[in-house]
Amino acid sequence: MATTMTSLNTKLSAEEKDAFVRNTAALGLTPSAAIKVFVHMFNECGGFPFEVRRQVSDDATTYLSADDYGRFANALDSAVPAATRELLDREFSWED
């Protein structure tokens, strides 16, 4: 049985398209073949076949005050309440 083919269209800037055509040619591919490879891998991986992240600037970073850091560090050193420990023990093994 023959596979029915369909089109996928997108808009790019002229510069992006030119760079894409040059880079695919350098790899011995057509732009169409490169897009088919990407779509295949996207579907195979259930998403992007590479890490996709936005760049976070240092201005967006939140720092704890000295007091808040102290409370945070103390909380890490505190004993885990028995009820919480019991719930966690169901999922994790602990090495004391």
Determine the pLDDT at residue 96: 52
Determine the pLDDT at residue 54: 74
Q: Are 33 and 24 in contact (CB under 8 A)?
A: yes
Residues contacting 94, CB < 8 A, separation 6+? 88
Range of the domain at 33: 16-45
Task: Indicate whether 23 belongs to any domain.
Answer: yes
Determine the pLDDT at residue 70: 77
Task: Indicate whether 53 belongs to any domain.
Answer: no
Task: Indicate whether 20 belongs to any domain.
Answer: yes
Task: Indicate whether 27 belongs to any domain.
Answer: yes
How many structural domains does the chain have? 1
Instruction: Give the amino acid at 4.
Output: T
Task: Indicate whether 76 belongs to any domain.
Answer: no
Packing angle, helices 31-45 and 14-26, rounded to 10: 90
Task: Indicate whether 39 belongs to any domain.
Answer: yes
Determine the pLDDT at residue 42: 92
User: Which stretches of the chain drop beneath a pLDDT of 50?
Assistant: none
